[in-house]
Amino acid sequence: MSLIRRHPILTLTFALALVLTLFFAVRFTVQVVYWSNPDHRNQQVQPWMTVGYIGKSWGLPAREIDAMAGLPPPQRGRPASLQQIARDRGVPVAEVIAQVESALAVLLAQRALEQVSP
């Protein structure tokens, strides 16, 4: 108690740093547990997925998937799902999924070539 009275700013700063550290440690742990589950890797593309989720699932850069599939990069706030992108474009979601799957095939083929080439 006397430490708080003698150094209130230092104590508050330490407490804030501790809370932030715990927050990021829990967040990191949750992501590691989620993505280490084999069920979440190389998932079939679904309408509810975002390009970022697809990129993490397949181990590919999401922005490259966006560019190759002709999709808009995410805007501020929540990234759009493939279903939202299709609705915004006025096209069936199957068309957007096909573009993403085509981009995945190309990027995976490029990765395979890079691993074979010396």
Q: Tell me if residue 78 falls in helix, strand or coil.
A: coil
CA distance 99 to 110: 17
Nearest to 15 by CA among 27, 3, 26: 3
**Could you report the per-residue pLDDT of 51-78, keeping only the tens digit for each?**
999 999 999 999 999 999 999 888 877 8
Name the nearest CA neighbour of 71 among 89, 48, 92.
89
pLDDT band at 99 (very low <50, low <70, confident <90, very high): very high
**What is the token pair recorded at 74?**
């995410």
Q: How many CB atoms lie within 10 A of CB 83?
A: 15
Q: How far apart are CA 21 and CA 18, in angstroms?
A: 5
pTM of the model: 0.77
> Which of 28-37, 42-51, 71-80, 94-103 shows the lowest mean pLDDT across its residues?
71-80
d(CA 74, CA 29): 25
